C-alpha cells in the first residue's frame, strides 16, 4: 500500500471523529448503544495507535543494521523529515512537496497552498509515547464515563472530538495544523466541563477556556511572527541541471550561505521542522559562531567576483541582520517567552495554575482523567517539540529561570496540596507539583561540557507518561468514591478500607506510585530528573529531593484520612465493581510495570529524546 | 547447583511471588490457609540463603556479583559531529539488576530469611482468626522480598529500592489494625520520619553518583573514592542520615516506639530483628567510605553511643512491655552504630594497615546477628504473654511463671541474653563492641577522649540494660499471680478495649468465655507459637558461644577484605578486662532489679516519688515527641498559608484580571445610554473637532 504511515496516522487522528459523526444516526433513547459505539471508537483508535506504534518501532528503530548512533539519527524526526524532503525534491520538485515514502513516519500533503500550509504529520519516540498514552487513557476514560446519564449523545460526540484534537496535536508537524488541533481540543473541553460538571461548572469552564485561549493567542502571535520571517535562504530551489553538477557544487548549492539556488521570492513557512532548523541557525548567528550562516555568507561575499551573486549575498546578509528580525536575540527571547507562557499555562506552571484545581473539581471524573492525564502533557510536549527547538538560544539563556519555576511549582504545589480538604483539589495540586519535575528536567541545560541533560529530558518524558498513569488513576479513584459518598471532603471520610478492601488496595498502589516509590512508575522519572539537576544546580537538587518528604506527607495523610480508621456511616458501601475494575486494573499494571521495567518505554523513546538533546546541546558545546 | 547466581535471584523473587499469590487468592480461596505461600516462600528462601552462605564460605567462593539485566539506562550522545571537537567522555548512565553474594550479604540473608520463617510460623498461631489474616501474610511476604533485595542488591539504587520497599511494608504492617486511629497515626509517622532520613540518603546517593563516574555499583563506588576528603565526609554524613532514619537513631528515633502498634510478630520481625538493622547494614556496607572519614565516624559513634544510653534511660520507666523492648531495640542499635563508628584508622584514618576497622565492623554485624535472635525471642515471648493476657500493661499482670511455664523460660532466656549474662550470645557481641570502643579511644589520635567517653556510656548502658530487662521480667513473671479480667480470651478483646494494644484475634465466639473465671491451665500458647520460641531460645543461648569465641563469625566476615574493599583484619584477642567490667555492670543491674521488684516491691514507687522530675522526664520520653509535634504543626501551618495565598492572592489576581473587561465596559457603558439627542450632540461635537483639525492642518 502506498504511504501507509500517512494513512495510519490520519486514521488514528480521525477515527474518533468518524465515530462521533456516526453517533448522529442513533435514534433517541438508545443511550446504551451510543456508549458502546463510543467505546468501540476509542478501542479502534487504541488498536490503530498500537499498530502505528509497532510499525513505527519496526521501521525506524529495529530493522536497522548499524551502530546505535545510526539508530539514534534515524529516530530523529528532523532527520527523517529532511530525507523525505530531499526525496520529494528529487522526484517531483518542491512544488509538489509530497512525500511518498511509506516507512519513514513523516507524511506531507499540500493543504492550503497559497499560504504554504501543509497537512504535515510525523512521529518519533516522543510523540509516539504520548499518542499511545492518549489512546489508552481515552479508552479507560470512556469506560469510566458509563455513569454519565445527561445528554449521552452530546457527551460522546464531544468526547470523541476531544480525542481527535489531542491526537492531532501530538502528530502534526505544521504549526498551523498544530494550532487548529490545539483549538479543536479546547472547545469540547469547555462544554464537557461546563455542561456535565459540578455546581460551579460555568465558572470553571470559562476560566479554563479563557486561560487556554490566552495561551493560544500567544501561540498565534508567534506563529504569525515566524510566518512573516523570510526564510528563503534555508529552502533552496532545485538546481536546474542536477545530474550534471559535481558533488561539491551540489552541496554548495544547498548550503544556506551560498548565493546559488536562493529563491527570488520570499519564502514563508509553518513547517515546524524547518523552523527548528532555522531557529538553530539563528542561535549560531546570535552567538556569532564561525559556522553560522552570517559569518560564512560574509566570507563568501569577500571571495565572490560575480556581481550578480554579490548582490544576492548582500541581500542575504541584510536579511540575516535585520533589526528586530528572526535572527536577533530580542526576537528570540520575545517569541520564546510567548510560546513558553502559552505552554506553561497548559502544564500548568505556578503562577498560571489556578485554572487547574477549579477545572478538576468541577469536571466529571472521566474528563478529569483526560485533563490530568493528557491535556497537561500537551504543555510539556509543546515545550519539548516547539519552544525549545525553535528558540534554542533564548531557551538556553532562560533555562535557569525555567528550572526555578519548575522548583517553585514542585514545592509550592506540594505545600498547597497538603492543606487541601477537597480530595480532587488535593490531586490537582499534586499534579502541579509533579509537572514541576517535567519543567525542571527539560530545563537543566548544562552550562559545562557535560551531558546529563539527556537524563533530565528523558526523566521529564518518563515523568509525563508516569504522571499520565498515576494522575488518571487517582482522579478515577476519587470518582469511584464520589459516586458512593457524594462528597469529596477529606475530613469526612475515614475508614473506607473496611467496606471496600479491594478499592483500598488499588488506591494504595496508585498513590504509592504517585509518591515515587522505587519500583513504581513515579520513581524513575523523578529520580532521573533529580540526578540531572544535581549537575545543574545543587540547591535545586536539594529542593527537589526535599519535595519527596512533602509528597509522602500529603499522600500518607490522605490515605490515613480516607481509608484508615473506622466509620459506621460507610459500612454498607459496595466494593469497586467489575466496570470500575476494568478501568483501574490497567492503570495499576502500568504503574508497576513501568517502574520495574522502565526499559519498556525508555528503550524506544530514549533515542529520540537523547537525539534532540544532542542536537540542541551542540549549539552550546562548540560555541566556546 | 553449581553457580550461586543461578538461584540467588530466587531469594527475593520467591517471597514476592508468595505475596502476589496471597494478594490474589488469599481473601477468596486460601482464607485461613493463607500462611502457606508466605511460610513456604520464606522457608525456601532460607534454604537458598544457606546455600549462598555455604558457597561463600567454601574454598572456592563465587564471583562477588552478577548482573541479571538493566533496570534503566540512558546513554547520552552520539559521537561528536565534527571530529575536531574535543572528545567527550561518553557517559552511559545505567542502573543494573545486579545481585551480590559476599560474606556480608550472605550473613544478612541467612539472618533475615531464617528469622522471617520462624516468625511467620509463630504468626500462624498468633494471628489465627484475625479478619485480615491473608493481608498480614501477603505483607510479611512482601517484606521478606524487599528486605532480601535490600541486602543482596549490588548497587545503591537496588539498596534504595529495597529500603523503600521495607519502609512501605513497615507502614502497612504498623497500620495493620488500621481501624485504631493510633495505629494509623503511628504508621504515617514511621514512614514520614523515615522519609526525612531518606532525604539525606538520596542526596548521598547523588553525591556518590557524581563522584563515582555515574555508576552506582558498590565495587565501582568504593574503588573511585571522592577526590576531596570533605566530600567523603559529607557523603558519609548524608548516608548516615538515611541509616539513622531507618535504624531509629536519635533524633529520628521517635517512630520506633510508636511502631509497636503493629502486631507483635511484626514488631519482632521488622522493628527488632531485621528492618531496623538495614541502616547498620548500609553503613557496614559503606565501610570503605566511612573508614576514611574520621569526623563522620565520630558522629556515627557519638549518635550511636548517645542513643544507646538515652533509650536505656527511657526504658527504665516504661510500663508497657512492648515499649520497654522497643527502647531496648533503640539502645542495642545504638551499640551497633557505636561499633561502626569505631571503625577508624589510627592516624585520622590515613593508615589502615593496623587499624581496627574490620574488627569494629565485625563487632557491629555480630551484635546485629545475635540481637536478631534474642530480640525476636523477647518480642515473641511478649507476644505470647499478650496473647494470653489480652493486654500489655505490665502493671495489670504478674507472676505468670506458674501459668505460662514455657514462655517464662523463653523470656527469661531472652532477658538473660540481652542483659549480657556471661557466655550467652549478647555477652560476646557486646564485649566486642566495648572492646572496639576502647580500642578506638586508644588509637584515635585526635578524638581519643571522646571515644573513651563513649566507651563509658556503653558500659553504663550495659548496666541499665540489665536493670530494665529484668525489671520487665520480674514484673511480668514473678511475684504474686495477678491476671487481668480479659486474660485467657486469647485476645479477643480486639480493637475496642482500651488496653487491647495488640489484639484483633477474633476467635469464634464459642471458644471465648467472656467474663468467666480464667482457666489458668489454658493460658500457655499453642505449640505453633512455642516451638519457634524454643528454637529461637536455643539460638539465643548458644549461637554466640559457638561462633564468637571460636572466631568462626569473624573469619567468615574477614573474607570481605578480598571482595568488598574492607581493610585486612588484625588479630584481636579477647579483652578480659572489658568482659569483666561488662559482666560486673550486668550483674549489678540484675541485682538491683531483683532488689526493687522482687525483694522490696514498694521501693520503685518511693524512688519515683523522690526524684519525680527525672522520673517524669524519662516516662515522657524526654518530650521529644512534643518537639516533633510542634515542627509538624509549623509545616502544616505553612501549607495552610500556601493554600490561602493560592486562593486569595494568585487566584484573586486571576479573577481580578477577569474583572478588567467588565470594569472597562462599565466605564464606557454610560456613553451608550440610548438617548437620541445625546448621540446627535456627540456626532456634532465630533464633526466640529474634525473640521477644526482639518482647517488647522490646511
Contact B650 A354 (CB under 8 A): yes
Contacts of A621 in chain B (CB under 8 A): 80, 85
pLDDT at B673 over 60: yes
Closest B-chain CA to A456: B74
Work out the average pLDDT over A48-73.
Answer: 77
Query: Which cell is A62 given?
Result: 529495529
Alpha-carbon gap, residue A129 to A461, rounded angstroms = 9
Cis geometry, peptide bond prior to residue A277 (ω within 30 degrees of 0): no
A463-477 pLDDT, tens digit per residue, is 999 999 999 999 999
Contacts of A68 in chain B (CB under 8 A): 75, 78
Angle at B34 between CA B28 and CA B39, to 5 degrees: 155
- Which of B88, B172, B199 is the closest to A545 by Cβ? B199
Lowest-confidence pick of A406-410, A557-561, B491-495: B491-495
| Range with top average pLDDT, A67-76, B226-235, B530-539, B570-579 | B530-539
Contact B168 A72 (CB under 8 A): no
A119-167 pLDDT, tens digit per residue, is 999 999 999 999 999 999 999 999 999 989 889 999 999 999 999 999 9
pLDDT at A449: 53
Contact B76 A452 (CB under 8 A): yes
- Which of B85, B191, B642 is the closest to A556 by Cβ? B191
B303-353 pLDDT, tens digit per residue, is 999 999 999 999 888 888 888 999 999 999 999 999 999 887 655 444 555
Alpha-carbon gap, residue B395 to B415, rounded angstroms = 19
Neighbours of A256 (CB within 10 A): 21
pLDDT at B204 over 80: yes
* DSSP three-state, residue B203: helix
Contacts of B77 in chain A (CB under 8 A): 451, 454, 610, 614, 617
Contacts of A530 in chain B (CB under 8 A): 202, 206
Contact A602 B74 (CB under 8 A): yes
Contact A518 B164 (CB under 8 A): yes
Query: Which cell is B171 given?
Result: 507502614
Averaged pLDDT of chain B: 84
B358-404 pLDDT, tens digit per residue, is 888 889 999 999 999 999 999 999 988 888 887 777 888 888 888 88
pLDDT at B496: 33
Task: Choose from A552, A571, A585 for mutation: most chain B CBs within 10 A.
Answer: A552
Of B469, B502, B500, B282, nearest to B375 (Cα)? Answer: B469
pLDDT at A448: 65
**Alpha-carbon distances of A559 from A493, A508, B17, rounded to whole Å:** 10, 8, 26
Using a CB–CB cutoff of 8 Å, tell me whether A412 touches chain B.
yes
**Cα B168 from chain centroid (whole Å):** 11
Alpha-carbon gap, residue B596 to A79, rounded angstroms = 85
Using a CB–CB cutoff of 8 Å, tell me whether A535 touches chain B.
yes
Task: Choose from A68, A556, A593 for mutation: most chain B CBs within 10 A.
Answer: A556
B257-312 pLDDT, tens digit per residue, is 999 888 999 999 888 889 999 999 999 999 888 888 888 999 999 999 999 999 99
Query: Which cell is A555 given?
Result: 499522600
Using a CB–CB cutoff of 8 Å, tell me whether A542 touches chain B.
yes
State the ipTM, two decimals.
0.86
Using a CB–CB cutoff of 8 Å, tell me whether A146 touches chain B.
no
Q: Phi and psi (nearest 5°) for A82?
A: -65, -45
B353-366 pLDDT, tens digit per residue, is 566 888 888 899 99
Percentage of the residues of chain B whose pLDDT score is greater than 90: 32
- Which of A351, A549, A613 is the closest to B196 by Cβ? A549
Alpha-carbon gap, residue B263 to B267, rounded angstroms = 7
A480-486 CB contacts, 8 Å cutoff, 24+ apart: A480/A365, A480/A576, A480/A580, A480/A584, A481/A423, A481/A562, A482/A365, A482/A423, A483/A147, A484/A570, A484/A573, A484/A574, A485/A570, A485/A573
Q: How confident is the model at residue B579 (pLDDT cuts 50, 70, 90)?
A: confident
Q: How confident is the model at residue B492 (pLDDT cuts 50, 70, 90)?
A: very low
Task: Choose from A203, A284, A289, A416 for mutation: most chain B CBs within 10 A.
Answer: A416
Contact B168 A355 (CB under 8 A): no
Q: How confident is the model at residue B530 (pLDDT cuts 50, 70, 90)?
A: confident
Q: How confident is the model at residue A529 (pLDDT cuts 50, 70, 90)?
A: very high
pLDDT at B507 over 60: no
Closest A-chain CA to B190: A556
Task: Choose from B78, B97, B634, B653 for mutation: most chain A CBs within 10 A.
Answer: B78
Contact B161 A528 (CB under 8 A): no
Alpha-carbon gap, residue B535 to B652, rounded angstroms = 68
Among all chains, which residue has been given the C-alpha cell 490537582?
Answer: A428
Contact A207 B160 (CB under 8 A): no
Is residue B554 within 8 A of residue B435, CB to CB? The reply is no
Closest B-chain CA to A506: B23
A531-563 pLDDT, tens digit per residue, is 889 888 889 999 998 898 899 999 999 988 898
More confident residue, A358 or B77: A358
Residue B104 makes CB contacts below 8 A (sequence gap 6+) with B281, B284, B285, B365, B557, B560, B564
- Which of A69, A566, A610 is the closest to B179 by Cβ? A566
Alpha-carbon gap, residue A94 to A274, rounded angstroms = 14
pTM of the model: 0.90
Alpha-carbon gap, residue A603 to A611, rounded angstroms = 13
Averaged pLDDT of chain A: 88
Is residue A419 within 8 A of residue B43, CB to CB? The reply is no
Per residue, the 3-state secondary structure of A253-285, as one string, reads HHCCCCCCCCCCCCCCCCEHHHHHHHHHHHHHH
The burial of B155, by beta-carbon neighbours within 10 Å (0-12 exposed, 13-18 middle, 19 or more buried), is given as buried
Query: Which cell is B548 given?
Result: 564468637
Alpha-carbon gap, residue A153 to A19, rounded angstroms = 12
- Which of B77, B210, B643 is the closest to A419 by Cβ? B643
More confident residue, A293 or A16: A16
Alpha-carbon gap, residue A551 to A61, rounded angstroms = 37
Element (H, E) at A66: none
B421-451 pLDDT, tens digit per residue, is 888 888 888 888 898 888 888 877 778 888 8
Of B195, B645, B656, B631, nearest to A413 (Cα)? Answer: B645
Q: What is the DSSP string of B452-477?
A: HHHHHHHHHHHHHHHHHHHHHHHHHH
A172, β-bridge pairs:
A121
- Which of B27, B78, B161 is the closest to A614 by Cβ? B78
Contacts of B80 in chain A (CB under 8 A): 621
Contact B650 A512 (CB under 8 A): no
pLDDT at B78: 44
Beta-sheet strands, E only, within B197-315: none
B582-628 pLDDT, tens digit per residue, is 888 888 888 888 888 888 877 788 888 888 888 888 888 888 888 88
Neighbours of B46 (CB within 10 A): 22
B11-20 pLDDT, tens digit per residue, is 999 999 999 9
A565-604 pLDDT, tens digit per residue, is 888 888 888 888 899 999 999 999 999 999 989 988 988 8
More confident residue, B349 or A179: A179
* DSSP three-state, residue B484: coil
Is residue A466 within 8 A of residue A594, CB to CB? The reply is yes
Which A residues 23-52 touch B at CB under 8 Å? Answer: none
Using a CB–CB cutoff of 8 Å, tell me whether A566 touches chain B.
yes
B218: distance to nearest CA of chain A, Å?
18
Using a CB–CB cutoff of 8 Å, tell me whether A556 touches chain B.
yes
Using a CB–CB cutoff of 8 Å, tell me whether A505 touches chain B.
yes
Is residue B34 within 8 A of residue B22, CB to CB? The reply is yes
Of A106, A98, A97, A38, nearest to A76 (Cα)? Answer: A106
Alpha-carbon gap, residue B650 to B640, rounded angstroms = 14
Q: What is the DSSP string of A106-146?
A: EEEEEEEGGGTEEEEEE--HHHHHHHHHHHHHHHHHHHHGG
Using a CB–CB cutoff of 8 Å, tell me whether A454 touches chain B.
yes
Alpha-carbon gap, residue A44 to A23, rounded angstroms = 15
- Strands B65-74 and A106-112, by their bridges, are unpaired
Contact A524 B72 (CB under 8 A): yes
Would you mind telling me the total number of residues written for chain A in this entry?
624
- Which of B74, B188, B198 is the closest to A557 by Cβ? B188
Cis geometry, peptide bond prior to residue A351 (ω within 30 degrees of 0): yes
B653: distance to nearest CA of chain A, Å?
10
Q: How confident is the model at residue B231 (pLDDT cuts 50, 70, 90)?
A: confident
A411-456 pLDDT, tens digit per residue, is 999 999 999 999 999 999 999 999 999 999 999 887 665 567 888 9
Contact B76 A545 (CB under 8 A): no
Contact A419 B175 (CB under 8 A): no
Contact B74 A606 (CB under 8 A): yes
Sign, CA dihedral B328-B334-B335-B336, equals positive
pLDDT at B494 over 50: no
Of A76, A154, A153, nearest to A122 (Cα)? Answer: A76
Alpha-carbon gap, residue B420 to B428, rounded angstroms = 8
Would you mind telling me the total number of residues written for chain B in this entry?
698
**Alpha-carbon distances of B569 from A522, B285, B351, B543, B565, rounded to whole Å:** 43, 16, 13, 22, 12
Closest B-chain CA to A420: B643
Query: Which cell is B584 given?
Result: 560486673
- Which of A415, A531, A614 is the closest to B209 by Cβ? A531
Contacts of A72 in chain B (CB under 8 A): 78
- For chain B, give the longest Cα–Cα distance: 124
Contact B76 A412 (CB under 8 A): no
Question: How many contacts, defined by CB atoms under 8 Å, are there between A and B?
Answer: 165
Of A336, A489, A473, A356, nearest to A398 (Cα)? Answer: A336
Q: How confident is the model at residue A67 (pLDDT cuts 50, 70, 90)?
A: low
Contact B206 A560 (CB under 8 A): no
Alpha-carbon gap, residue A140 to A135, rounded angstroms = 9
Amino acid at each position: 500500500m502506498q504511504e501507509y504511515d500517512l494513512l495510519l496516522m490520519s486514521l488514528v487522528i480521525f477515527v474518533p471523529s468518524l465515530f462521533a459523526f456516526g453517533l448522529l444516526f442513533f435514534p433517541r433513547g438508545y443511550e446504551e448503544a451510543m456508549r458502546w459505539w463510543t467505546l468501540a471508537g476509542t478501542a479502534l483508535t487504541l488498536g490503530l495507535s498500537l499498530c502505528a506504534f509497532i510499525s513505527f518501532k519496526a521501521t525506524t528503530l529495529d530493522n536497522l543494521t548499524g551502530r546505535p548512533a545510526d539508530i539514534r539519527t534515524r529516530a530523529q524526526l528532523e532527520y527523517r523529515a529532511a530525507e523525505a524532503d530531499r526525496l520529494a525534491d528529487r522526484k517531483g520538485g518542491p512544488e509538489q512537496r509530497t512525500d511518498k515514502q511509506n516507512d519513514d513516519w513523516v507524511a506531507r500533503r499540500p493543504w492550503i497552498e497559497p499560504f504554504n500550509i501543509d497537512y504535515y504529520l510525523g512521529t518519533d519516540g516522543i510523540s509516539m509515547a504520548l499518542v499511545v498514552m492518549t489512546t489508552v487513557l481515552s479508552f479507560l476514560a470512556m469506560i469510566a464515563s458509563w455513569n454519565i446519564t445527561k445528554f449521552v449523545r452530546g457527551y460522546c460526540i464531544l468526547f470523541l472530538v476531544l480525542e481527535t484534537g489531542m491526537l492531532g496535536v501530538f502528530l502534526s508537524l505544521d504549526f498551523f495544523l498544530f494550532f487548529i488541533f490545539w483549538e479543536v481540543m479546547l472547545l469540547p473541553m469547555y462544554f464537557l466541563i461546563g455542561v456535565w460538571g459540578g455546581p460551579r461548572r460555568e465558572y470553571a469552564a470559562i476560566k479554563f477556556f479563557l486561560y487556554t485561549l490566552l495561551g493560544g493567542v500567544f501561540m498565534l502571535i508567534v506563529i504569525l511572527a515566524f510566518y512573516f520571517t523570510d526564510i528563503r535562504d534555508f529552502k533552496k530551489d532545485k538546481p536546474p541541471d542536477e545530474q550534471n553538477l559535481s558533488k561539491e557544487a551540489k552541496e554548495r548549492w544547498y548550503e544556506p550561505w551560498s548565493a546559488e539556488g536562493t529563491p527570488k521570492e520570499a519564502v514563508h513557512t509553518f513547517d515546524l521542522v524547518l523552523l527548528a532548523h532555522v531557529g538553530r541557525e539563528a542561535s549560531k548567528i546570535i552567538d556569532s559562531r564561525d559556522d553560522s550562516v552570517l559569518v560564512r555568507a560574509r566570507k563568501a561575499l569577500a571571495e565572490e567576483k560575480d556581481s550578480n551573486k554579490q548582490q544576492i549575498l548582500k541581500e542575504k546578509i541584510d536579511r540575516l541582520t535585520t533589526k528586530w528580525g528572526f535572527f536577533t536575540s530580542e526576537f528570540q527571547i520575545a517569541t520564546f517567552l510567548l510560546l513558553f507562557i502559552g505552554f506553561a499555562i497548559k502544564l500548568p506552571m505556578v503562577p498560571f495554575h489556578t485554572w487547574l484545581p477549579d477545572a478538576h473539581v468541577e469536571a466529571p471524573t472521566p474528563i478529569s482523567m483526560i485533563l490530568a492525564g493528557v491535556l497537561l502533557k500537551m504543555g510539556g510536549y509543546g515545550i519539548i517539540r516547539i519552544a525549545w527547538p525553535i528558540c534554542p538560544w533564548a531557551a538556553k539563556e532562560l533555562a535557569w529561570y525555567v528550572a526555578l519555576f519548575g522548583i517553585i511549582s514542585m514545592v509550592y504545589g506540594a505545600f498547597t496540596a497538603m492543606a487541601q480538604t477537597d480530595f480532587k483539589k488535593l490531586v490537582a495540586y499534586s499534579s502541579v507539583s509533579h509537572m514541576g519535575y517535567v519543567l525542571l528536567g527539560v530545563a537543566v541545560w548544562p552550562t559545562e561540557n557535560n551531558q546529563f541533560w539527556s537524563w533530565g529530558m528523558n526523566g521529564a518524558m518518563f515523568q509525563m507518561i508516569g504522571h499520565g498513569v498515576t494522575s488518571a488513576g487517582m482522579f478515577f479513584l476519587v470518582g469511584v468514591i464520589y459516586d458512593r459518598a457524594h462528597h469529596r471532603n477529606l475530613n469526612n471520610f475515614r475508614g473506607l478500607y473496611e467496606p471496600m478492601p479491594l478499592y483500598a488496595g488499588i488506591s494504595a498502589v496508585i498513590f504509592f506510585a504517585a509518591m515515587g516509590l522505587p519500583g513504581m512508575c513515579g520513581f524513575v522519572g523523578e529520580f532521573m530528573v533529580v540526578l540531572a539537576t544535581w549537575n545543574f544546580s545543587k540547591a535545586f537538587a536539594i529542593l527537589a529531593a526535599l519535595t519527596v518528604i512533602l509528597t509522602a506527607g500529603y499522600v500518607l495523610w490522605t490515605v490515613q484520612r480516607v481509608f484508615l480508621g473506622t466509620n459506621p456511616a460507610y459500612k454498607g458501601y459496595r466494593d469497586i465493581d467489575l466496570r470500575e475494575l476494568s478501568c483501574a486494573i490497567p492503570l495499576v499494571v502500568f504503574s508497576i510495570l513501568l517502574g520495574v521495567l522502565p526499559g519498556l518505554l525508555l528503550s524506544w523513546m530514549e533515542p529520540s529524546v537523547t537525539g534532540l538533546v544532542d542536537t540542541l546541546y551542540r549549539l552550546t558545546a562548540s560555541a566556546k | 547447583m553449581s553457580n550461586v547466581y543461578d538461584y540467588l535471584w530466587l531469594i527475593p523473587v520467591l517471597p514476592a511471588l508468595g505475596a502476589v499469590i496471597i494478594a490474589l487468592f488469599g481473601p477468596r480461596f486460601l482464607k485461613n490457609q493463607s500462611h502457606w505461600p508466605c511460610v513456604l516462600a520464606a522457608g525456601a528462601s532460607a534454604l537458598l540463603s544457606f546455600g549462598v552462605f555455604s558457597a561463600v564460605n567454601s574454598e572456592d567462593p563465587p564471583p562477588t556479583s552478577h548482573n541479571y539485566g538493566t533496570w534503566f539506562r540512558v546513554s547520552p550522545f552520539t559521537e561528536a559531529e565534527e571530529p575536531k571537537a574535543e572528545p567527550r567522555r561518553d557517559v552511559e548512565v545505567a542502573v543494573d539488576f545486579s545481585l551480590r553474594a559476599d560474606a556480608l550479604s550472605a550473613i544478612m540473608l541467612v539472618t533475615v530469611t531464617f528469622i522471617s520463617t520462624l516468625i511467620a510460623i509463630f504468626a500462624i498461631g498468633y494471628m489465627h482468626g484475625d479478619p485480615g489474616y491473608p493481608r498480614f501474610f501477603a505483607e510479611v511476604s512482601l517484606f521478606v522480598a524487599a528486605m532480601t533485595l535490600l541486602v543482596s542488591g549490588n548497587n545503591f539504587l537496588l539498596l534504595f529500592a529495597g529500603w523503600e520497599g521495607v519502609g512501605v511494608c513497615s507502614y502497612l504492617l504498623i497500620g495493620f489494625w488500621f481501624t485504631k486511629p493510633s495505629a494509623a497515626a503511628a504508621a504515617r509517622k514511621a514512614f514520614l520520619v523515615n522519609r526525612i532520613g531518606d532525604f539525606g540518603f538520596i542526596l548521598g546517593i547523588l553525591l556518590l553518583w557524581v563522584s563515582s563516574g555515574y555508576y552506582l555499583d558498590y565495587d565501582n563506588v568504593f574503588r573511585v573514592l571522592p577526590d576531596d576528603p570533605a566530600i567523603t565526609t559529607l557523603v558519609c554524613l548524608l548516608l548516615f542520615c538515611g541509616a539513622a532514619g531507618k535504624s531509629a537513631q536519635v533524633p529520628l528515633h521517635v517512630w520506633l516506639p510508636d511502631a509497636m502498634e503493629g502486631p507483635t510478630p511484626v514488631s519482632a520481625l521488622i522493628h527488632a530483628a531485621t528492618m531496623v538493622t538495614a541502616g547498620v547494614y548500609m553503613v557496614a556496607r559503606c565501610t570503605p567510605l566511612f573508614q576514611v572519614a574520621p569526623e563522620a565516624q565520630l558522629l556515627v559513634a557519638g549518635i550511636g553511643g548517645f542513643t544507646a544510653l538515652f533509650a536505656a534511660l527511657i526504658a527504665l520507666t516504661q510500663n508497657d512491655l512492648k515499649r520497654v523492648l522497643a527502647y531496648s531495640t533503640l539502645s542495642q542499635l545504638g551499640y551497633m552504630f557505636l561499633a561502626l563508628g569505631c571503625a577508624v584508622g589510627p592516624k585520622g584514618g590515613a593508615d589502615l594497615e593496623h587499624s581496627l576497622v574490620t574488627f569494629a565492623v565485625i563487632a557491629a554485624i555480630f551484635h546485629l546477628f545475635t540481637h536478631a535472635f534474642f530480640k525476636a525471642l523477647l518480642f515473641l515471648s511478649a507476644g505470647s504473654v499478650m496473647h494470653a493476657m489480652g493486654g500489655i500493661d505490665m502493671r495489670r499482670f504478674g507472676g505468670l511463671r506458674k501459668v505460662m511455664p514455657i514462655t517464662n523460660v523463653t523470656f527469661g532466656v531472652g532477658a538473660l541474653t540481652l542483659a549480657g549474662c556471661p557466655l550467652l550470645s549478647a555477652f560476646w557481641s557486646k564485649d566486642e563492641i566495648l572492646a572496639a570502643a576502647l580500642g578506638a579511644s586508644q588509637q584515635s589520635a585526635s578524638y581519643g577522649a571522646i571515644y573513651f567517653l563513649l566507651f563509658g556510656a556503653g558500659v553504663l548502658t550495659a548496666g541499665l540494660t540489665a536493670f530494665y530487662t529484668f525489671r520487665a521480667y520480674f514484673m511480668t513473671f514473678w511475684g504474686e499471680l495477678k491476671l487481668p479480667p480479659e486474660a485467657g480470651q486469647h485476645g479477643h478483646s480486639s480493637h475496642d478495649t482500651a488496653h487491647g494494644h495488640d489484639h484483633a484475634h477474633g476467635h469464634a465466639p464459642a471458644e471465648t468465655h467472656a467474663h468467666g473465671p480464667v482457666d489458668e491451665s489454658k493460658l500457655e500458647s499453642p505449640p505453633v507459637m512455642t516451638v519457634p520460641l524454643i528454637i529461637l531460645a536455643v539460638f539465643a543461648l548458644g549461637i554466640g558461644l559457638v561462633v564468637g569465641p571460636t572466631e568462626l563469625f569473624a573469619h567468615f566476615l574477614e573474607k570481605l577484605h578480598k571482595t568488598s574493599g574492607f581493610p585486612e583484619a588484625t588479630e584481636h584477642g579477647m579483652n578480659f578486662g572489658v568482659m569483666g567490667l561488662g559482666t560486673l555492670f550486668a550483674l549489678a543491674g540484675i541485682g538491683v532489679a531483683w532488689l526493687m521488684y522482687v525483694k522490696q516491691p514498694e521501693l520503685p514507687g518511693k524512688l519515683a516519688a523522690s526524684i519525680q522530675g527525672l522520673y517524669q522526664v524519662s516516662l515522657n520520653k524526654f518530650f521529644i515527641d512534643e518537639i516533633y509535634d510542634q515542627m509538624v504543626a509549623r509545616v502544616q501551618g505553612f501549607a495552610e498559608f500556601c493554600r490561602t495565598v493560592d486562593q486569595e492572592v494568585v487566584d484573586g489576581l486571576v479573577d481580578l484580571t477577569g474583572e478588567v473587561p467588565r470594569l472597562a465596559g462599565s466605564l464606557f457603558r454610560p456613553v451608550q445610554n440610548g438617548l437620541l439627542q445625546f448621540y446627535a450632540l456627540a456626532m456634532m461635537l465630533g464633526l466640529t473637532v474634525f473640521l477644526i483639525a482639518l482647517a488647522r492642518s490646511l
